[in-house]
Amino acid sequence: MKIQVWDYKKEYEIHQKDILRLVDEVFRSGRLVLGESVCEFEQAFSAYCGSNYGVGVNSGTDALLLGLKALGIGDGDEVITVANTAVPTVSAIMSSGGVPRFVDVKPGTYLMNADQLEQALTSKTKCILPVHLYGQCVDMNQVMKFSLKHGLSVLEDCAQSTGALFEGKRSGCLGDVAAFSFYPTKILGGYGDGGMVVTQKENIANKVRRLRMYGMEGQYYSEEHGYNSRLDEVHAKILSFKLQYLEGYVARRRQLAEVYRQELCGSGLTLPEVAEGNYHAYYLYVVRYPERDMVIEELKKKNIFLNISYPWPIHTMRGYSSLGYKEGDLPVTESLANDIFSLPMYPSLTDGEQEYVCNALRAILGK
C-alpha cells in the first residue's frame, strides 16, 4: 500500500467518462477561450459563494494579483498579511507593486492574529489580505471592523477555503474581494491551473475582466495596462461538473478529519483547532510534533508520503529579504514551521488507507 498526502487518480477513474465527454464538447464547440463554459462557471461558482460576480483567471496567484490591482494597490502601498502561507500570497502583493507587511498567526489555529493589525498599520497601509489557511477562515469580524475604522480594503485569500463557512457565511463573500484557486490539489480542483476573483461589487468585477484581457473591453484596444490571465473553456467545463460534488467533497474531508481526531487523540500529536464560528473544510489536516522529521522519515518506510505546509516562513526566505524582516520577528510562525506537517487528506482516501496511516503513526509515536 502506497499512500500520498494527496492523490487525484481514483477520483478521475470514477468520473473519467464524464470528464472526457465534457472535454470533447468544448473541443467541438469552436470556442476554446472565454466562451459559454467560463461564463456559466463564473455565475455558478460566485452564486455558490454568495457573491454577485465571478471572473475566471488562469491561476489563484493571478486572482490575488488582479484583485489587488482592481482595489487600486500600486507602488509602495502596504498590504498586511501573514508569512505562514504559500509564496503566491506574497508574490502577488509584490507583483502588484505593493509591499507586504506581516503580522504573526495564532498558535492554535495558525491563522492571522488580527490583534496585531494595529501595530502593522502605517500611513501607507491600503489593504488587509487575510489567508483562510488549511480550510478555515480568519476572524473576519475583527478584520472587517478594523478595515472600516481605517478605510482599508480587504482581499480574502480563499485558495484553501473553498466550501468553508464563517458564522454561516461562505468564505469569499466576507471582504471586498476574494481570490480562489482551482489548482489540482485544491478542494475544488481542476486538471491544471485556474482561479477566480469573486466580489459583490460590479465595478471591481468589470475592472478584473479588463485586466485579465490586456485591459481591453473590446478587441485590439486597451483601456488600461492589463495582463493575459484567462480561465480556459476546458477547465471551466470540468470545474462546473465538479461543482455539483463540492459539498460532498467537503463532507468527506470533515469525516476524515473526525476519524483522525478520534484515532490520534492522545498520540502526542497536536491536532488542528477549529476557531470559533468556523465550519472547517479541511483542505489540509495539519498536525504538530517536535520530532516531525523523524516521523516523516519513518512513515516513508511504510510507503506513506507526507507534506509540510510550510517549512519556511516567507519572511525568512532570500527572495523576500528586501522586506527587512529577520528571524525572531514572527515567533509563532517560525515555531510552527519547525513542527507542522500534513496528513493525507482528500475525498477518495479510503477508510482502510486512513486506518493504515493512523496505525503507523501510533506505532511510531509509541501510542
Q: What is the mean pLDDT of the chain?
A: 97
First CA to last CA distance, the chain? 22
The DSSP code sequence of 16-53 is: HHHHHHHHHHHHHHT--BSSHHHHHHHHHHHHHHT-SE
- How many CB atoms neighbour CB 116 within 10 A? 17
The DSSP code sequence of 189-252 is: --SS--EEEEES-HHHHHHHHHHTBTTBSSSS-BSS---B---BHHHHHHHHHHHTTHHHHHHH
Sign of the alpha-carbon dihedral angle for 181, 62, 64, 106: positive
Pick the closest to residue 160 from 272, 268, 39 (CA basis): 272
Kindly report, residue by residue over 300-332, the tens digit of the pLDDT: 999 999 999 999 999 999 999 999 999 999 999
Domain with CATH 3.90.1150.10 in the chain: 247-365
Burial class (CB in 10 A: 0-12, 13-18, 19+), 340: buried
Q: Specify the pLDDT at position 1.
A: 80
Q: Which CATH class is domain 9-103+110-243?
A: alpha beta
pLDDT above 70: percentage of residues in the chain: 100
pLDDT above 90: percentage of residues in the chain: 99
- Coil, helix or strand at residue 295: helix
Pick the closest to residue 340 from 116, 108, 61, 180 (CA basis): 108
Kindly report, residue by residue over 222-249, the tens digit of the pLDDT: 999 999 999 999 999 999 999 999 999 9
Question: Which CATH superfamily does the domain covering 247-365 fall into?
Answer: Aspartate Aminotransferase, domain 1 (3.90.1150.10)
Q: Average of pLDDT values for 346-364? A: 97
Q: Specify the pLDDT at position 219.
A: 87
Q: Average of pLDDT values for 28-57? A: 96
pLDDT at position 367 over 80: no
pLDDT at position 218 over 90: no
Burial class (CB in 10 A: 0-12, 13-18, 19+), 350: exposed
Rg over alpha carbons for the chain, rounded to the nearest Å, is: 21
The grid coordinates listed for 167 are: 458564522
Domain with CATH 3.40.640.10 in the chain: 9-103+110-243
Pairwise CA distance, residues 219 & 120, whole Å: 43
Q: Specify the pLDDT at position 166.
A: 98
Q: Specify the pLDDT at position 336.
A: 97
Kindly report, residue by residue over 77-134, the tens digit of the pLDDT: 999 999 999 999 999 999 999 999 999 999 999 999 999 999 999 999 999 999 999 9
The DSSP code sequence of 45-61 is: HHHHHT-SEEEEES-HH
